[in-house]
Amino acid sequence: MITGGHVEQQAARLDARGSALPEQTLSPEAVALFGRLAKGEQPGPGDAEALGQLRSWGLAGEAGGAEGHEHVVALPPTPAAWTVAKAALAHLHEQIRLLTELPGQVERMNVLFAQSRHRAGSGSEFLADRDEINERIGSILAQAQYELLGAHPHGPRTREQMELGVPRDTAALERGVNYRTLYRDAVRDDVVTCEWASVMAPRGVHFRTLADPFERVVIVDEKVAVISNYVIPDAPQSAAWIITDRAMVAFCKHAFEQEWRRAQPWHGQRRERARATVGGRLSEIQKALLRCLSEGESQDGAAKRLQVSKRTVQRELDQVRALWALPQATVAQLTFRWATSPERETVLGTPINAALNTVV
């Protein structure tokens, strides 16, 4: 009778976490020994290593012999192979699970590590939790005494943001706070943002829009700036930094002022979409589009960068062709014409490198 204790024990070890998987494929010596065992022969003194391989694969066991003596026999290869394959698959599944969970675990640990190193007193504080960010920013804005600057390039305001912002921002204006907000040019087409600006502009908020891309930042009283995270890898997209270092806050404000000077005043009036150019000159969105294309962006890339639709890009290019009397011009030809146009020099500047995910 063949004893199965060794085989069952081996399978149990394999099924646990795959830790007892065979460490190597069968050697030629092990295969040769298996053939001899299958013929009824017994292993010799020099077969210890080969026999160990066969046993690790479940290909050799013991059978009872005469007078209670046991001898080694070959076991069926197919069941043994399936046992190893099953254990190997379980081991592989466990490794895949560990690899799948690893990025999330590392991200959480990065956040905890960053929070432990960047606290008050260092001039910057990292915040990852969205609710905590909103609470801190709300507290900072409520303490504004004389100036509040905000640059918000990522899309129009929502109705909820407008309803929350009107009383808060009105209270700041009543305290005498100078309030300036910079948006992307595309908000001139958005009903809610136009309504928001129409309500707040008469109360004292100064709005401007810029067709070119820029980053986001909020600056309060030249003392605190809130910017996006460009330091901690794999942090949540909503992560932010609270900056209190005076030199860095001053730099953020200087960058904001550069963008502000380039932007166009706006009082909430909605743009007439059928209007193309004014006085035979390129519009701001057309200039920004041509700048993107001249910097090597594709039309799709320019649309994404300017946060407009592909249809808008095509419409603006058609209007440029009409303005320049080049109805059949390719994009490359328009780009070359732009490179030699005097209008190219009229709006130059450097985007600010600061960011914030909460809209003021």
> 273 and 185 in contact (C-beta within 8 Å)?
no
Within 10 Å of residue 15's Cβ, how many Cβ atoms? 14
Could you give the C-alpha distances from 340 to 120, 319, 331, in angstroms and in order?
51, 18, 15
**Spatial contact of 182 and 152, defined as CB atoms under 8 Å apart:** yes
pLDDT of residue 247: 92
> Whose structure tokens read 């200087």?
254
DSSP track, 22-70: -SSPPPHHHHHHHHHHHTT----GGGHHHHHHHHHTT-EEEEE-GGG-E
Give me the pLDDT at residue 345, please: 59
With a cut of 70, say whether residue 68 has pLDDT above it.
no
Residue 329's pLDDT is 85
Collapsing DSSP to helix, strand or coil, 328 comes out as coil
Number of C-beta neighbours around residue 137 at 10 A: 22
Name the helix (H) or strand (E) containing 307.
Answer: none
Average per-residue pLDDT for the chain: 80
pLDDT tier, 69 (very low <50, low <70, confident <90, very high otherwise):
low
**Where do the domains of the chain lie, and which CATH numbers do they carry?**
17-117 (1.10.10), 124-266 (3.30.870.10), 284-344 (1.10.10)
Q: How confident is the model at residue 13 (pLDDT cuts 50, 70, 90)?
A: very low
Residue 286 and residue 319 in contact, taking contact as beta carbons nearer than 8 Å: yes
Contact 186, 303 (CB under 8 A): no
Residue 350 scores a pLDDT above 50: no
Over 50: is that where the pLDDT of 357 sits? Answer: no
Q: How far apart (Å, rounded) are the C-alpha atoms in residues 317 and 99?
A: 47
Phi/psi of residue 5, nearest 5 degrees:
-60, -45
Residue 155 pLDDT > 60, yes or no? yes
Q: Supply the pLDDT for residue 349.
A: 39
> What's the pLDDT score for residue 348?
42
Percent of the chain with pLDDT over 90: 16
Taking CA atoms, 223 is separated from 1, 84, 329, in Å, by 86, 66, 51
Judged by DSSP in three states, 281 sits in strand
